[in-house]
Amino acid sequence: MSLLQRLYAPQAQEPGKGRLASAILLTVLAAIAILVPLLNLTVPADSAFHVPTYLVSLLGKYLCFAMLALSIDLIWGFCGILSLGHGAFFALGGYAMGMYMMRQIGDRGVYGNAELPDFMVFLNWKELPWYWYGFDFFPFAVVMALFVPGLLAFVFGWLTFRSRVSGVYLSIITQAMTYALMLAFFRNDMGFGGNNGLTDFKDLLGFDLQSDNTRAVLLASTCVALAGCYLMCRAIVASKLGRLIAAIRDDEARVRFLGYRVENFKLFVFVLSAMIAGLAGALYVPQVGIINPGEFAPANSIEAVIWVAIGGRGTLYGAIAGGVLVNYAKTVLTGVIPEVWLFALGGMFIAVTLFFPKGLVGSLPAAIDWVKRRIGKRNPPASSPLAEEPGQ
């Protein structure tokens, strides 16, 4: 087996494991959803228990990234599809929500035009392009935030899986996809605000985006959405379908010979994953206040893959932890050591790869085993030692 094939060899854990982790994750999410807004809104600012507002929006942002990581783990960890273009689905979801909020601005833009967003007034556009129709209606925007990424994933996946493009070729053309979309959205003629993207949002469903209440609700909704997506993914990977998907990952040809339409299953997971990413994007935009073509940059997608790997591929909860962890590290490092933080981040990527092959969280069970053995020296080793993967 060549190196190329090994690259896509299975590495995930068995899906049945990790009940404890799920319980912990859901508890933490519930705690964040309830406690953080409570501590932010009700506790006075000078109290030690007060959670400052910037932390609320920061947490919201991390959780959106975690949801993106979750969507990548679903296809990468369980179906063996390494997508280097998932940022595209995330950004498309974000644009859908951004377009809704742009329409909500109404005549409060700088030029006071009730019909057109500022950047269109400015480019001398006379009327709203057809693809902006419907976005003043919230449910439509939400549906679009799921539908557009899903549609793109469907078309892309339908073409690709049917012609059996796989492995590295698939990864690189997903990169081509997000790169092409980035270039396209950069164009001002596209009608999505060009390089500046969509910004200057005022409110969502009539609630002021700058108020603490709205922020708290957004954070809570993100927690709920993330928990929901997690449970859904977990249910899928634990089901019969999940086993089939894992089988495809492990030996696609054999599953095909058994009579399954492999491409249909792959397509289903791919589209689902894209929709989760789209939802993450839709939640992300109101919390950071801007969506622009930079989100399509191939580097962003690669970074999202790295979150998954850092947390632990094929565990779902590991991906979520990885998304939060890496972004937290980024926040801290860019503030504390702004001049050299890339050394720290880059070093972290290298170190985790070399020393924690299953990712930080993915290595935890083994680490716990190891600690148990170290302390008690009673139990025989339950799993193989950490760094020594069986050679393939």
Partner 1 sequence: MSLRQWMRGGALRFLMVFWALAVLVPHSGASAAEDLGTLVTELGAASLSKKQAVVDRMVATGAPEVVPILEALVGRDLYTRKSDGVVVIGQKTSGGKLLLTDPLTGSEVGTVGSREVKRIKTNNRLRSSVKAVMGTLTLMSPDPQRRLEAADGLLKSSDQAMLPLIETALAKEADAAVKNALQLAKASIKLQSGSAEERLAAVQSLADRTDPESRVMLSRLLLKDGDVWREPDETVRETAGETLASMERRLEMWRTVEHLYQGISLGSVLLLAAMGLAITFGVMGVINMAHGEMVMLGAYTTFVIQEAFRSLAPGLFDWSLAVALPAAFLVSALVGIAMERGCIRFLYGRPLETLLATWGISLVLQQTVRSIFGPTNREVGAPEWMQGAMESVAGITLTYNRLWIILFSFCVLGAVLLVMKKTAFGLQMRAVTQNREMARAMGIPTGRVDAMTFGLGSGIAGIAGVALSQIDNVSPNLGQAYIVDSFMVVVFGGVGNLWGAFAGAMSLGIVNKLLEPWAGAVLGKILVLVAIILFIQKRPRGLFALRGRAVES
Partner 2 sequence: MGKLTKWKSALAATAFGLAATAGMGAAQAADTIKVGILHSLSGTMAISETTLKDAMLMLIDEQNKKGGLLGMKLEPVVVDPASDWPLFAEKARELISKDGVSVTFGCWTSVSRKSVLPVFEELNGMLFYPVQYEGEESSRNVFYTGAAPNQQAVPAVDYLLGEEGGEAKRIVLLGTDYVYPRTTNKILRSYLNAKGIADADIMENYTPFGHSDWQTIVAQVKEFASQGKKTAVVSTINGDANVPFYKELANQGIKAEDIPVVAFSVGEEELAGLDAGPLVGHLAAWNYFMSVDTPENDAFIKAWHAFIKDEKRVTNDPMEAHYIGFKMWVQAVEQAGTTDVDAVRQAMYGQTVKNLTGGVAVMNTNHHLSKPVLIGEILEDGQFEIVSATDDVVVGDAWSDFIPESAKLTADWTYPWVCGNCEKPRF
Residue 357: which of partner 2, partner 1, none does it interact with, CB under 5 to 8 A by kind? partner 1
Residue 261: which of partner 2, partner 1, none does it interact with, CB under 5 to 8 A by kind? none
Residue 180: which of partner 2, partner 1, none does it interact with, CB under 5 to 8 A by kind? partner 1
Backbone angles phi, psi at 71, to 5 degrees: -65, -35
In whole angstroms, how close is the CB of 39 to partner 2 at the nearest point?
15
Contact code string over 140-179 relative to partner 1, x by CB under 8 A:
----------------x--xx-xxxxx-xx-xxx-xxx-x
In whole angstroms, how close is the CB of 209 to partner 1 at the nearest point?
32
Residue 338: which of partner 1, partner 2, none does it interact with, CB under 5 to 8 A by kind? partner 2
Distance of alpha carbon 364 from its chain centroid, rounded?
Answer: 22
* Segment interacting with partner 1 (CB under 8 A) among 120-128, 273-281, 287-295, 337-345: 337-345
With respect to partner 1, which residue has the nearer C-beta, 180 or 332? 180
Residue 346: which of partner 1, partner 2, none does it interact with, CB under 5 to 8 A by kind? partner 1
In whole angstroms, how close is the CB of 362 to partner 2 at the nearest point?
14
Which residues make up the interface to partner 2 (CB under 8 A)?
A: 52-54, 57-58, 61, 110-113, 119, 121-124, 183, 186-188, 194-197, 199-201, 210, 288-290, 292, 294, 329-336, 338-339, 341-342, 344, 348, 351, 355-356, 370, 385-388
In whole angstroms, how close is the CB of 4 to partner 1 at the nearest point?
4
Residue 334: which of partner 2, partner 1, none does it interact with, CB under 5 to 8 A by kind? partner 2
Where does residue 222 fall: left (phi above 0), alpha (psi -120 to 50 degrees), or beta otherwise?
A: alpha
**Would you count residue 184 as binding partner 1 (CB under 8 A)?**
yes
With respect to partner 2, which residue has the nearer C-beta, 271 or 310? 310
Secondary structure string (H, E, C) spanning the chain:
CCHHHHHCCCCCCCCCCCHHHHHHHHHHHHHHHHHHHHHHHCCCCCCCCCCCHHHHHHHHHHHHHHHHHHHHHHHHHHHCCCCCCHHHHHHHHHHHHHHHHHHHHHHHCCCCCCCCCHHHHHCCCCCCCHHHCCCCCHHHHHHHHHHHHHHHHHHHHHHHHHCCCCHHHHHHHHHHHHHHHHHHHHCHHHCCCHHHCEECCCEECCEECCCHHHHHHHHHHHHHHHHHHHHHHHHHHHCHHHHHHHHHHHCHHHHHHCCCCHHHHHHHHHHHHHHHHHHHHHHHHHHHCEECHHHHCHHHHHHHHHHHHHHCCCCCHHHHHHHHHHHHHHHHHHHHCCCCHHHHHHHHHHHHHHHCCCCCCCCHHHHHHHHHHHHHCCCCCCCCCCCCCCCC
Amino acid at 204: L
* Segment interacting with partner 1 (CB under 8 A) among 53-61, 115-123, 183-191, 280-288: 183-191
**Would you count residue 386 as binding partner 1 (CB under 8 A)?**
no
In whole angstroms, how close is the CB of 369 to partner 1 at the nearest point?
20
Give the interface with partner 1 as residue ranges (CB under 8 A). 1-9, 11, 82, 156, 159-160, 162-166, 168-169, 171-173, 175-177, 179-180, 183-184, 186-187, 298-299, 302-303, 305-306, 309-310, 339-340, 342-343, 345-350, 352-354, 357, 389, 391-392
